Structure 1
Amino acid sequence: MHLSPTSLIAGLGLLAMAQAGPVAPVAGPEAGITFTVERTALGEIESFVNATALGVDIFGEIPDDGVREGDKVLAEPGSKAWAWIRAQIDIDWNNVPEEQKARAEKRQFWANIGVGMWTMDHCQGVAAYWDNAQYGLHHWDDMNFYSIGIYHRDLRNSEQLDVSRWANGDWCGRYMGTIGGEGIGCAHVGPINCFHLFLK
């Protein structure tokens, strides 16, 4: 196949424009990204069933078999901490009894919202969990994450949750998109390394 200099230059120009173009949001109805709560064949919430089988209280403190690194907890699949983290994003806080809400709120700080990210689709693989996500900070890890969930409440109209990935020597160097305002369960967004929660 022979390419003329004109067609080669035109092709390279289109490639450069495609790479320099804006990145589409990764979540929200317009992007087709939805949060999903996985259920068993009996209609039970799968993550609650799995946590209960391990003796995990999903409204209590995170089990101590996770590894705390600064402002996050890392948990391997099969651990109690992993089961607890996974269950958090499936809780519909609008329908939780006040007693359970009060127990959970005792461990809330800062923005009163938590974020979990997983190294595989469907919120599987190694989990990284930030219980007290702070406004205005970039929360990151050097692993690639492919799914995300938020817990305790929906994002408010005054809040924005952006996700990004490694670029130019920075784990948060390339903006990948914005997570929509509400969602219970798991959303597929990766690969990402970082999230940033802030007030608009």
Structure 2
Amino acid sequence: MRSSVVLTLASLLSSALAIPADSSLSKPTGDEPTLLPVKFIDGVPESIFNATSLGIDVFGPVPNDAIRNKDGSVTAPEGSKSNAWLRAQADLGIYSEQLAARGIDVSDKLSKRQGWANIRLTMWAQSNCGGQGVYWDNVEYGVSYYATTNYYAVSTTYRGLAPGERLEFRRLSGSDWCGIHHTNAFGPQNAGCYGNVPATNCLRLYI
């Protein structure tokens, strides 16, 4: 388990430039990160059970203790309500399916909160999507989303990776926070938590 790192606003920067896809790792190798199985408490995903126990509306906006950074990313410090909310987001897809099976449709709540983004990417300071998290909405293809510290888990929210999509995991090389492309996640996959990835600073989504 990796300890989390407290980030300053200046330490979280993301690129706004679209980067051509790297063909060297464009095919599955068998070593790709896998989604964590979801744990349940009383039939509810553990992360959502924990968040709602704190009085958090998991379908509502991020709690006010989140830090909104100048680059558009949002940081949820470890131990904060925003952190519990953010961890619950990775399991909203499964929870929504559970509610739908009971005749409760929450798709309108998700779409209203989502805005125009169709996927959220979150990096976590600890494995199993624990510790401090930093996330980006309004994700675009081929754009670098990076933070200047190491992260060891990644989650997707709103939807999983679609067929033909590839999420690149990258890390620092020299002065380039996205310089080394070390692994991928390939669609189709459900939304959820890639709980154990090599040290990662940067994400890029391609189709």
Report the TM-score range of the alignment, normalised by the length of the smaller protein.
Answer: 0.7 to 0.9
Alignment of 1:158-169 (within 5 A): 158-169=164-175
Letter of the aligned partner of 2:182 in structure 1? M
After superposing on structure 2, the runs of 4+ consecutive aligned residues of structure 1 that deviate more than 6 Å are: 22-25
Matched with 1:196 is: 204
Matched with 1:101 is: 107
Letter of the aligned partner of 1:127 in structure 2? G
In structure 1, list runs of 5 or more residues that go unmatched: 1-21
Q: Secondary structure at the match of 1:87?
A: helix
Give the Å deviation of 1:136: 2.3
Alignment of 1:8-157 (within 5 A): 30-31=30-31, 33-40=33-40, 42=42, 44-69=44-69, 70-92=71-93, 95=97, 97=100, 99-157=105-163
TM-score (norm 1): 0.77
Quick check: which one's helix share is greater? 1
Q: Secondary structure at the match of 2:107?
A: helix
Write the distance in 2 (CA, Å) between the matches of 1:40 and 1:111: 28
Q: Secondary structure at the match of 1:189?
A: coil
Q: Secondary structure at the match of 1:51?
A: helix
Write the distance in 2 (CA, Å) between the matches of 1:168 and 1:160: 25
Percentage identity across paired residues of the two chains: 35
Cα deviation, 1:42-64, whole Å, max 9, x if unaligned, reads 55311011100111111111112
TM-score (norm 2): 0.75
Write the distance in 2 (CA, Å) between the matches of 1:118 and 1:159: 21
Which of 189, 193, 204 is residue 186 of structure 1 equivalent to?
193
Matched with 1:15 is: none
Between the two structures, name the one with larger relative contact order (CA 8 Å, sep ≥ 6): 2
Q: Secondary structure at the match of 2:199?
A: strand
Matched with 1:9 is: none
Between 1:107-116 and 1:161-170, the stretch displaced more is: 107-116
Give the Å deviation of 1:107: 2.9
State which structure, 1 or 2, has the greater radius of gyration over its C-alpha atoms: 1
Q: Secondary structure at the match of 2:114?
A: coil
Aligned partners of 1:137 and 1:196 also within 8 Å: yes
Write the distance in 1 (CA, Å) between the matches of 2:119 and 2:63: 18
Paired residues in the alignment total 176
Cα distance change on mapping 1:41 and 1:153 into 2, 3 Å: closer
In structure 2, list runs of 5 or more residues that go unmatched: 1-23
Write the distance in 2 (CA, Å) between the matches of 1:91 and 1:164: 26
